Structure 1
Amino acid sequence: MKIIPEHQIEESKKLRAIFEERQLQARHRGKRITQAGVGRACGWASAQSVFSQLLVGRMALSLDSLLKLALVLRFSPSEVSPRLASTMELIAKLPGIVQTDVEPYRLPVLAGSVPVSCKALLSAGKAFELERGAFGHLTIYSADPLAYGMVVSGNHLSPRFRNGEILVIEPGKPCQAGDEVLVQLDDGLCMLREFIYQRDGQCRLDGVCGGDSVYVENTSIQAMHVVDVIAKSSRWNR
């Protein structure tokens, strides 16, 4: 009987916990993450089989598999395998290593600041008003120089968006099907919805907590900005 090393068991537990957390986050958005999907995103031929064996500890994590999973599931390699993460640091320090050889395996932490410039005054209806103002800033990085923060006020979109949370909105990011978006209508009201498609002069927007779909004339939409992340309150400097 093959004896599985203790570190292999511990790493599989940590990886499984992260995967289950990502599944839960996806379900809250009405999405689904599968083992096969993760495996395909990593480029493995036997997608579901390989990832499944890594999750239960039957297969040991390699540096290559850890890096691919870290990029797909968005975690730091040290969260799952400190031993392999330390190997990455040693490789980076080797003399003669070309920077581009190491760079693809780095997960940089980027500093930045995003202004919090509005509050979503949520109501029981589909649309709500925005309160404009200067509400401090978020200590968070965004690749969009026009990004801004929006405070959620009210629980009508809970559990997806809860009272007091701050959303990072990116106006410069193109909308893709499945994106959550802030839609600004020409009557001054706004909606937080899931973008599905635009065609035949209309835009289909679904509820972020499931349920109803609405069809809005393109001519009635003043702006549509992608909701990038939900920022932690610890990043909000008021």
Structure 2
Amino acid sequence: MIKLTSGAEGGTTPPERLLIVMAEQHLDVGTLSALLGIETAVARSWLEPGAPKLPLHHAVKLQEAYDYSPTWLINGVGAPMLSNLLEAELDEPSLPFDIVTIPPSRFKRIPVVGMAQLGDNGHFSDIEYPVGYGDGFLTFPTNDPDAYGLRCNGDSMRPRVKHNEFVVIEPNRAVTNGDEVLVKSQDGRVMVKELAYVRDGVIHLSSVNERHGMLRIPQDQIERLHYVAGIVKASAWRPD
């Protein structure tokens, strides 16, 4: 079983908070992996120094199992355990009460250039219009001049991304572990996945929907690995 190391009791970082949960609930890496529907290698990577924040859907699973606060698990804010008070709706991360207005100038016309499969073996209808033209458009706030949109088909990212919704891609933005990414492999597959980690020249991709397992693709077989900036409802699409 996991034992807390000296200095980890404060829970100031995401790995420390996860270690606290594992120590208090007598969980080892294998048990945690089974509970969250992930591979043990992913769970181990979350315990390494500098690991990214716990993804929301996994924090919610720990809430459901042991009553830990997702806000504390992800951001270290508030008490570790939920009280009898109602917690904020957790389909999406809680937002502060201070509303930030996005200037109209930030919104750009984003061309939709194809379709991405949300399963593991889908293919991409890559229209390859020049930037600014495509199969209709979306309006979305972005600073990336090369941003583009894709219609998503499939269910492997439900409930995060639903069938026929759109994702906005920012190809000039760096990606890190835990980000949702668009992946295009040299054999033509294009998928929206969660970047788990990169190790020994192999990219490991996971799905929000635990019915779909881990996917591994050698790094030299990746044609595109682009950052998913946002998810847009189907009703937001407009024809050219």
CA gap of 1:124–1:199, structure 2 versus 1, over 3 A, is: closer
Alpha-carbon distance in structure 2 between the residues aligned to 1:142 and 1:219: 29
The answer for the alignment partner of 2:56 in structure 1 is 26
Q: How does 1:55-204 map to 2 (within 5 A)?
A: 73-75=94-96, 77=98, 107-111=100-104, 112-120=107-115, 122=117, 125-132=120-127, 134-155=134-155, 157-204=157-204
CA gap of 1:129–1:196, structure 2 versus 1, over 3 A, is: same
| Secondary structure of residue in 1 paired with 2:229 | strand
What's the offset of the Cα at 1:151? 1.2
- Which runs of no fewer than 5 residues in structure 1 stay unpaired? 1-24, 42-46, 57-71, 79-106
Does the 8 Å CA contact 1:116/1:151 hold for their aligned counterparts? no
Does the 8 Å CA contact 2:186/2:223 hold for their aligned counterparts? yes
Does the 8 Å CA contact 1:119/1:153 hold for their aligned counterparts? no
Alpha-carbon distance in structure 2 between the residues aligned to 1:123 and 1:39: 28
Q: Deviations over 1:138-196 (max 9, x none)?
A: 12201322211111234565443322211111112211111111101112221221101
What's the offset of the Cα at 1:31? 4.5
Alpha-carbon distance in structure 2 between the residues aligned to 1:162 and 1:141: 21
- The structure that is helix-richer by fraction is 1
Q: How many residues align?
A: 164
CA gap of 1:148–1:119, structure 2 versus 1, over 3 A, is: same
Alpha-carbon distance in structure 2 between the residues aligned to 1:208 and 1:184: 18
* 2:103 aligned partner, one-letter code: L
- The higher radius of gyration belongs to 1
The answer for the alignment partner of 2:232 in structure 1 is 231
| Secondary structure of residue in 2 paired with 1:215 | strand
- Greater alpha carbon shift after TM alignment, 194-203 vs 127-136: 127-136
Does the 8 Å CA contact 2:183/2:193 hold for their aligned counterparts? yes
Alpha-carbon distance in structure 1 between the residues aligned to 2:155 and 2:215: 20
Does the 8 Å CA contact 1:178/1:196 hold for their aligned counterparts? yes
TM-score (norm 1): 0.57
The answer for the alignment partner of 2:223 in structure 1 is 222
Does the 8 Å CA contact 2:120/2:191 hold for their aligned counterparts? no
The answer for the alignment partner of 2:31 in structure 1 is none
TM-score (norm 2): 0.56
Q: Deviations over 1:99-155 (max 9, x none)?
A: xxxxxxxx2313312423323253865332224251222122013222111112345
Does the 8 Å CA contact 1:194/1:206 hold for their aligned counterparts? yes
Share of identical aligned residues, percent? 25
